[in-house]
Amino acid sequence: MNKNIYKLIVVFLSVLTFSCTQKFDEMNTDPVEPTEIPPSMAIGNLLVNGNIAEWSRYQQAYTLYTSLYSQYFANTTNYFNSGRYIMNLGWVDYGFFRTQYWESTRMYDDIKAYSEKYPDFDNHYWIARIQYELSSARTSDQIGDMPYTEGGRGIDYPKYDSQEFIYNSVLTGLDSAYVMLGKFTDQPTYGGEDVIYNGDLQKWRQLANSLLLRYAIRVSKVDPALGRKWGTVALSRDLINSNADNATVATDPHSFMRGHPLYEIAWWNEFRMSKTMQDYFTSTSTAVTDPRMYLYFDKVQREDVNAEELEGYKKLNQEGKLVDFTYSELKSGVYSISFYKGVENGLPAEAIPAMGNNPSDNSNIGPMFNNNSRYMIMSYAEVSFLKSEAALLGWGGNSEAAYLEGIRASWEYVATLSETQSFLSSIDPSKVDMEAYIKGLPTFSGHELENIQQQKWIANFPDGCEGWAEYRRTGYPTLNKVVKDDSGVDLGDGFIKKLPYTESEITINAKNALDPSNNQGQGEGIHVRVWWDID
């Protein structure tokens, strides 16, 4: 009898405990906060923010940093000094670290977890994997060694992985994505939630393979065997093979922060065309000015110039600093002027207001950009230049033919945009004759890499991350040293080598961020070369 009563008590307490625990779990579960995120809800954030395609992060990642260091733009305000190599760690944090860990890693992990739990979401996962590897390579290209396996995953003090390890993982991941996306043709895709390819799996496979070629070329100097291994694999498979395959993000000017980021911020007068770009536009071909200048950048036009000011502009023109300079008298003593011009990188703050240096005297972005322009991630032109260098490395193909194809593809893309048609219909056709430009280019043989990289740099505009990475890897195109370097750091050749780690990393995660073994034993600093930058 007593034994039976004891058993009943045990059963009762067990039920009571389960019931109370269940109620406790229910009380501590937010009925509104989702416990898992379907891929369709995460992918837009991953593709937009993972590609730095909203204006506030774009400003801090590109126009305040990499687009200055690639010398696509130069700074034209005296309240920003990153162009003179003074670092703002908050910008590095917001532009790159938060993009990598708050957006790319978290959204990728959510999609990965969902696809592991539910069947038939493999395609969703592998598309996210491509974007994650792209984002990871881009971030590492700017900062070197970084938290990759542990960063953004709830670990208080994430370890730093070497860029060599990261690149090996990126290359393997892209290869796997290419293979696996071809195996699940009966599964759903993101469709309209995919703001790059609208769910087209074949185009995603081409992008994965094209990125594989990009990063194989990136490591080809530091690890020739690794580069050849993956480069030859990529060349044997489907690549982006026309401008119709270009990877571009759809922007939305009607959504907060979702218009084209460069267009959104171009009117704040913080940057203008660099003198370096102007020089390459006007001096590369002996025949004509590069026709792309007229679409990339806008003409300076003023109608309030007095006689004294006009003489100053005439002097600038005589010094060769203005392109297509014209003027006319509107009324007695008042003139209109127009020209294209770029400004030097790294001007001291006190020099920026001067004639020829300020925003009103230099060219802003041009006709190819509207608020709803698509945001370029990777183009057929870039792939052509990658194929050209691959042939130069002995991986197969015709280097010069691919080089010329890259130039023509670059022009074809910008010249067929709906944004540029009105301008092209109104300009003298001789100014936009790309074949005449090509005929006047230097002989390809003997300076192959220089020619390839110079044209790739022009074609990749305005992607400052790629432009800066390729300059550091190859030394081309030749850039001008900044007028004033205020970093206080010995940079050797006068050029910044990488972005620094963030304030939170060097304080909270100091043991890992300031480990002297980081970055091939160089430690941390803007003078430190990333792994693939060996020259």
Give the pLDDT of residue 252: 87
Is 153 or 22 the better-scoring residue by pLDDT? 153
Between 394 and 37, where is the model more confident? 394
Give the integer Cα–Cα distance in Å for 383 and 245: 11
Amino acid at 416: T
Q: Tens digit of pLDDT for each residue in 90-107?
A: 999 999 999 999 999 999
- φ, ψ of residue 9 to 5 degrees: the values are -65, -45
Convert 259-326 into a string of H (helix), E (strand) and C (coil).
CCHHHHHHHHCCEEEEHHHHHHHHHCCCCCCCCCHHHHECCEEEEEEEHHHHHHHHHHHHCCCCEEEE
Helix (H, G, I), strand (E, B) or coil at 343: strand
Residue 190 pLDDT greater than 60, yes or no: yes
pLDDT in tens, 467-494: 999 999 999 999 999 999 999 999 999 9
Is residue 8 predicted with pLDDT exceeding 90? no
pLDDT digits (tens, 9 = 90+) for 44-82: 999 999 999 999 999 999 999 999 999 999 999 999 999
Q: Is 176 helix (H, G, I), strand (E, B) or coil?
A: helix
Task: Specify the pLDDT at position 35.
Answer: 60
Report the pLDDT averaged over residues 222-233.
Answer: 98
Summary mean pLDDT of the chain: 93
